[in-house]
Structure 1
Amino acid sequence: MQEIWCERIDSSQPELAAVIDEIAEECNIPRAVAKIAAARGCRNGMEAMAYLEPNVEDFHNPWDLPDMQKAVERILSAKENGEKVCVYGDYDVDGTTAVSILVDYFKSLGMDVMHKIPNRLIEGYGMNIEAVRKLIDCGVKLIVTVDNGIAAKDEIAYAAEHGVDVIVTDHHECQGELPKAVAVIDAKRPDSQYPFSELCGAGLAFKCVQALEEAQGQTRDLSNYLECAAMATVADIVPLQDENRLIVKMGIESINTDCKNAGIQALAQVSNVQEVTSGNIGFVLAPKINAAGRLGEADCVVDLYTKKEAVQVNQVAEFLKDENEKRQEIEAQIYNEAVQAIKLQKKYQEVFICAAGKNWHSGVIGIVASKIQEIWYHPVIVMGIDEDGIARGSCRSVEGINIFEALSGCSELFETYGGHEMAAGFSIKEENIPKLESFLKEWAKKNHSRINLIKKIYYDGDLSENDIDWELMDCISMCEPYGVKNPSPLFRLSHIHPEEVKTMGQDQAHLSFKDGDFRCIAFSQGKLASALLRDYDEGIDVLAVPKVNHFMGNDQIELMVKNILIPELFDHEKCWQYLKILKNASDAVIKELPIWQYDQKDILPNREETVWVYKMLKKYAENGVKFDALMDRNKTLNCFKLLAILEIFNEIDVVHSKLKKGIIYSKIPKEQQKKDIKKAELVIKLKRNIN
């Protein structure tokens, strides 16, 4: 995977530099933190303070949401008349949490309430006529949707024909004409005057509770619902800006200081989470809640959130933990099968990486697609084919490649499809899968540039060791909680000369080294240990965030290293990629390679170097020789030149070599004719582009 580091904002621009200076001065914070605030959209000290210290007064007026007045009046009418009400939700974290908020609140008002969450595996997303018919048979007179309903025109019309009113609360985009409901609460309505349009379903449910409380003249503590809304807001990956940021910040503070929701407490306990953060909500707690919906057991989530007895919620929390472990097992099996198929069929050579398998569980293929994308930074499509020959696909794209636009170009192939620029889903007949792959291949040729497959890593500015102190740590913590549109800060530290380099963890997969007074930890980067042992004149650069490590009563600042940039011509992976492109790509693509910025002596092996490498390979042919050992013994060699020599030798049939786990194994042909290295195709390409 190729990567490029990009500063999030260009602070060298005079206007932005002035904004950063103003924020730093007015808020009395380090310039590094002022830059974080500016990169998150703050343009003056007042906006920065609202970002760093949001408070309850920043909540928007719930009555500004469209149709809120109508919805409140109809709900209170149902309460007064003793009508049966159904809260109709979705099976993901947001939907089940939103259901729980309204069900619990309606019960607190003494209302006759039930809920309906469709089975993901049988019914799919949203309202359906059969479910509405059953609710009518149960005597339901009012349906309140959460996290769905904006597209359910037919189902809502059917309910109305049978004397059942519907209130829609949804946060998805409106699709043409609004449904004929009693009220349609959606901040994305074209006529909405609400100042923030990115609330999730549970966030909207919380706003409904706020309005209902106010309408009844109540001032009860709503922390329970705020805690629930915080969980869903993080899990639904909506922007952590404006009111969402306030919901999550206040909700998490409530959970950690005096948690009102017994279910959240129980879930944190079975997950061994001591302090809840947006990070462990997203990666530890929410997946357990989501697992229930993925495997068709979403109703139990409502029990988790709404039951009050410790024994009951503990049982549900344990059940969700078990369900998540099942989900992980299913996911791991599909992931391994998909990766194996991709490698075997060399699907990674295509722009769109497609993998399909019989009976792959439709509830986890989206997660599998995301994980595959971590290996190859390409758009990924994973499809599970059922017994009827229908494949359900889940797509994850990359910046600059609109997956929904691509699918729309062959919409006739699908039974159903939908999505947006970065993610999509569809169902398709098995016999149409080859047509889909063929279309995407041609679409990519016309609409894709290789630059789209280079991952951009954004950072918040440069930081030196002298900048890192306890004041900086306190100010950085004010930027929490992190999530979409408010990512965890990341800084570039340059010219580091690592000391005490060592690997650690299972399989020695992680990396530890020192930079001056600070310990640096780099997870999943143990393979770079040998590269860090080399002495580079200019040192190395890293992207890292300073964190406080609490250990046995002592607090220490450590650097959590996310990315390491060693000099490019010593980076094995990049050099392999560059040589593959040199061998196989067109001249236009070759000219885009970054290696041409270097001097000829750094990328074109000379005669002395090739002769020396030949002698070493011949000497150690039987047992092999370590790749890095050759570079250590010949200081004029770098990774790119050594790999280039091996490729040249293979090309002209001088030495047949293979590189396995850092060791070069060579075989010298018995009969050799004199070969002219200058005539090797790789040498010709190097010379042509250098010149």
Structure 2
Amino acid sequence: MRWNLKPEVDKNTVSHLQKVLGVDEVIARLLVQRGITTYEEAKQFFRPALSDLHDPYLMKDMDKAVMRLEKAFERNEKILVFGDYDVDGTTAVALMSSYIQRFYAAVDTYIPDRYGEGYGISYQGIDYASDNGISLIVALDCGIKSIEHIAYANQKGIDFIICDHHLPGDKLPDAVAVLDPKRADCSYPYKELCGCGVGFKLIQALEQKKGHTIESLVPYLDLVATAIAADIVPITGENRILAYFGLQVINTGPRPGIKALLALYNQISFSITDIVFKVAPKINAAGRIEHGNFAVALLTKFTMEEAVAAAEKIVAFNEERRSLDQSITVEALNQIIENKEINNKSTVVFNASWHKGVIGIVASRLIETYYRPTLVFTESGDYLAASARSVKNFDIYSALELCSEHLIQFGGHMYAAGMTLKKENYLAFKNKFEEVVSDRIEEKDLIPEIEIDAILNFTQLTDKFLRILKQFEPFGPGNMNPVFLTREVYDTGYGKTMGQKDEHIRLFVKQAKNAAPGYSAVGFNLGDQFSKLYPRQLFDMLYTIEEHEWKGNITWQMQIKDLQMA
């Protein structure tokens, strides 16, 4: 990896925070790096409060959305809650439908089939509503660009309320209400809500109208926190508050469906990282392997008995997903070697039999081995479909634009995209994409970069320092777990490799030239470095500090991100 120490921040601001907060200079610098420069901002950061959530009626069209729902309740109209098949969409559907069902019976849910209907609002979904006498659809985590679909629904006499968080196009759909903080004409103060978060603001507005406080909605925050974690949105501002209190619900009294998934792990408490790596993939697996309806069913169960049965199905889907992505990754890596493409600037691989539901995961896996823009193709009916993933600083969407003459359609953003093309155009596209990437990518961007927050000596890791660092949680984009650099570290001789292929290492490290205590450290996928670390061989280490739970005991542990010989 390329090691990059973050630029210096304003020293006067750091000194001021040190003084008013009574904290270590490194802690003050970490706060300033996060844009926190005053006592009040620090207080809000360390003490999230539900009262700091914004008034939902600040969001454009919120009054229209509430008015239309109240009208539906009064007229006893049938309501359909529609959402995407990923975690953000399914949690949003579970949130909205379970909230409405507390006081209103005529509500149904709809998740589009990933393969039969594709992403977002579908004509099949609108036809389903029409055939079942449904006159109002609440769409979550999708719809902001569904101009034609909403027009089609209007022709059938079906109204739409859209709750989305994606960037709108030049024109908004003709819905009764379009809730999206990214609307150009929306002055809502926080722009980074996930789809489930926008849905939460709608139920917050409904509760507010009834004269109820935000506390009445706390039980729903386990779903919101799960969506925030899975959708990789910034954990800043409102998202930080929602994630903070959502984690409290997850750790003290989650809904049966989430509790059933957590019960698979022998842990006392769960962090955002646990949700990202342990819970979200299982919920996602339903839509990838079978259907997103299974995820909604799990998240809306009322009893533990029902939830455990639903979780067993979800776990089975996830096992199939894991098996598929592992085997396809091996096949793809072999294809790169067989085609003598190891030294290419891009990776483009194809197999007609690869499962469409996991090719995005496989693309990410391939980047772990060959760090470069990556596309994984499979057959999809008469065409080929691909998922694309990029590396830092390379805009894969712009690269696809330059290859668009070979594509039927494509969409996405800087770091991830999807596309379809005719089978006969595959080789021409592949060659063109390699040419475009070779021309545009810088050599340094083909080496992964890790940003260092601060240089530390182990003597600085006092109980107070670690206690305050814990209060930086929940970590995520916009508030990542700080990466520290400590120089001249050595393994005391207790180090070993772990894993089926000795791919990981566990060390007990101390720092030379000081009397600081030693620390347990684990390094995933660093097994190939172990032979260099004979006792007392000095090395520089990049790491994060995390709580480690083992047999009910919680200790501090360093997670090694990279190391270099001193």
**TM norm structure 2:** 0.95
Q: Secondary structure at the match of 2:541?
A: strand
Q: Does the 8 Å contact 2:492/2:536 carry over to 1?
A: no
Q: CA deviation at 1:155?
A: 1.3
Q: Which segments of 5 or more consecutive residues in structure 1 lack a partner in the other structure?
A: 568-691
Q: Does the 8 Å contact 1:518/1:557 carry over to 2?
A: no
Q: CA deviation at 1:545?
A: 2.3
1:153 and 1:378 map into 2 onto residues whose CA distance is 35
Aligned to 1:319: 313
Instruction: Give CA deviations for 1:128-156 in whole Å, capped at 9, x if unaligned.
Output: 22321221110001111101111111111
2:140 and 2:122 map into 1 onto residues whose CA distance is 14
Check 1:217–1:526 CA distance in 2 against 1; reply closer, same or farther (3 A cut).
same
Aligned to 1:338: 332
Aligned to 2:228: 233
1:460-609, aligned counterparts within 5 Å?
460-500=453-493, 502-506=495-499, 507-511=501-505, 512-516=507-511, 517-519=517-519, 520-533=521-534, 539-551=538-550, 556-567=555-566
2:432 and 2:93 map into 1 onto residues whose CA distance is 41
1:486 and 1:462 map into 2 onto residues whose CA distance is 18
Which amino acid is 1:274 matched to? Answer: I
Larger deviation, residues 195-204 vs 500-509: 500-509
Q: CA deviation at 1:272?
A: 4.1
2:308 and 2:434 map into 1 onto residues whose CA distance is 50
Aligned to 2:134: 140
Instruction: Give CA deviations for 1:639-688 in whole Å, capped at 9, x if unaligned.
Output: xxxxxxxxxxxxxxxxxxxxxxxxxxxxxxxxxxxxxxxxxxxxxxxxxx
Aligned to 1:410: 403
1:641-656, aligned counterparts within 5 Å?
none
Larger deviation, residues 239-248 vs 502-511: 502-511
Aligned to 1:359: 353
1:120 and 1:63 map into 2 onto residues whose CA distance is 33
Q: Secondary structure at the match of 2:290?
A: coil
1:490 and 1:78 map into 2 onto residues whose CA distance is 51
Q: Secondary structure at the match of 1:100?
A: helix
Instruction: Give CA deviations for 1:411-466 in whole Å, capped at 9, x if unaligned.
Output: 12112200111111101122211111211222134322212212110111011011
Aligned to 2:270: 276
Q: Secondary structure at the match of 2:495?
A: strand
Instruction: Give CA deviations for 1:24-45 in whole Å, capped at 9, x if unaligned.
Output: 2222222222222222222233
Check 1:341–1:261 CA distance in 2 against 1; reply closer, same or farther (3 A cut).
same
Q: CA deviation at 1:556?
A: 4.3
Q: Does the 8 Å contact 1:473/1:547 carry over to 2?
A: no
Aligned to 1:583: none
1:15-94, aligned counterparts within 5 Å?
16-94=10-88
Q: CA deviation at 1:490?
A: 1.2
Instruction: Give CA deviations for 1:39-71 in whole Å, capped at 9, x if unaligned.
Output: 222223322222222111210110001100000
Q: CA deviation at 1:107?
A: 0.8
Check 1:276–1:513 CA distance in 2 against 1; reply closer, same or farther (3 A cut).
closer
Check 1:315–1:550 CA distance in 2 against 1; reply closer, same or farther (3 A cut).
closer
1:252-401, aligned counterparts within 5 Å?
252-257=247-252, 259-386=253-380, 388=382, 390-401=383-394
Q: Does the 8 Å contact 2:117/2:124 carry over to 1?
A: no
Q: CA deviation at 1:509?
A: 2.9
Q: Does the 8 Å contact 2:353/2:378 carry over to 1?
A: yes
Q: Does the 8 Å contact 1:37/1:51 carry over to 2?
A: no
Check 1:442–1:270 CA distance in 2 against 1; reply closer, same or farther (3 A cut).
same
1:236 and 1:373 map into 2 onto residues whose CA distance is 20
Aligned to 2:149: 155
1:551 and 1:163 map into 2 onto residues whose CA distance is 58
Q: Does the 8 Å contact 2:486/2:540 carry over to 1?
A: yes
Which amino acid is 2:211 matched to? Answer: G
Instruction: Give CA deviations for 1:102-149 in whole Å, capped at 9, x if unaligned.
Output: 111111122410011100011101112232122111000111110111
Count of residue pairs the alignment pairs up:
557
Aligned to 1:197: 191
1:161-176, aligned counterparts within 5 Å?
161-176=155-170
Q: Does the 8 Å contact 2:493/2:535 carry over to 1?
A: no
Q: CA deviation at 1:352?
A: 1.1
Which amino acid is 1:254 matched to? Answer: V
Q: Does the 8 Å contact 2:489/2:509 carry over to 1?
A: no
1:10 to 1, 5, 8: 8
Identity %: 34
Aligned to 1:574: none
Aligned to 1:672: none
Instruction: Give CA deviations for 1:576-630 in whole Å, capped at 9, x if unaligned.
Output: xxxxxxxxxxxxxxxxxxxxxxxxxxxxxxxxxxxxxxxxxxxxxxxxxxxxxxx
Q: Which segments of 5 or more consecutive residues in structure 2 lack a partner in the other structure?
A: 512-516
Larger deviation, residues 491-500 vs 57-66: 491-500
Q: Secondary structure at the match of 1:348?
A: coil
1:222 to 208, 217, 228: 217
Check 1:313–1:467 CA distance in 2 against 1; reply closer, same or farther (3 A cut).
same
Which amino acid is 1:107 matched to? Answer: Q
Aligned to 2:449: 456
1:177 to 162, 171, 182: 171
Q: Does the 8 Å contact 1:65/1:193 carry over to 2?
A: yes
Larger deviation, residues 510-519 vs 79-88: 510-519
1:70 and 1:175 map into 2 onto residues whose CA distance is 21
Q: Secondary structure at the match of 2:211?
A: coil
Q: Does the 8 Å contact 1:121/1:296 carry over to 2?
A: no
Which structure would you say has the larger Rg? 1
Q: Secondary structure at the match of 1:497?
A: strand
Larger deviation, residues 554-563 vs 423-432: 554-563
1:528 and 1:534 map into 2 onto residues whose CA distance is 13
Which amino acid is 2:5 matched to? Answer: E
Q: Does the 8 Å contact 1:404/1:423 carry over to 2?
A: yes
Q: CA deviation at 1:548?
A: 3.9
1:90 and 1:397 map into 2 onto residues whose CA distance is 23
Q: Does the 8 Å contact 2:491/2:535 carry over to 1?
A: no
> Greater RCO between the two (CA within 8 Å, min separation 6)?
2
Aligned to 1:250: 245
1:289 and 1:371 map into 2 onto residues whose CA distance is 20
Check 1:348–1:24 CA distance in 2 against 1; reply closer, same or farther (3 A cut).
farther
Over aligned residue pairs, what C-alpha RMSD do you find? 1.7
Which amino acid is 1:137 matched to? Answer: D
Which amino acid is 1:148 matched to? Answer: C
Check 1:273–1:285 CA distance in 2 against 1; reply closer, same or farther (3 A cut).
farther
2:510 and 2:109 map into 1 onto residues whose CA distance is 56
Check 1:545–1:116 CA distance in 2 against 1; reply closer, same or farther (3 A cut).
same
1:187 to 181, 186, 197: 181
Q: CA deviation at 1:386?
A: 3.7
Check 1:549–1:107 CA distance in 2 against 1; reply closer, same or farther (3 A cut).
closer
Q: CA deviation at 1:552?
A: 5.9
2:409 and 2:304 map into 1 onto residues whose CA distance is 43
Q: Secondary structure at the match of 1:400?
A: coil
Check 1:163–1:379 CA distance in 2 against 1; reply closer, same or farther (3 A cut).
same
Residue 129, structure 1, aligned to residue 137, structure 2: no
Q: CA deviation at 1:406?
A: 0.5
Aligned to 2:514: none
Aligned to 1:616: none
Q: CA deviation at 1:20?
A: 1.9
**TM norm structure 1:** 0.78
1:668-679, aligned counterparts within 5 Å?
none
Which amino acid is 2:44 matched to? Answer: A
1:72 and 1:549 map into 2 onto residues whose CA distance is 45
2:429 and 2:334 map into 1 onto residues whose CA distance is 21
Check 1:550–1:227 CA distance in 2 against 1; reply closer, same or farther (3 A cut).
closer
2:97 and 2:378 map into 1 onto residues whose CA distance is 35
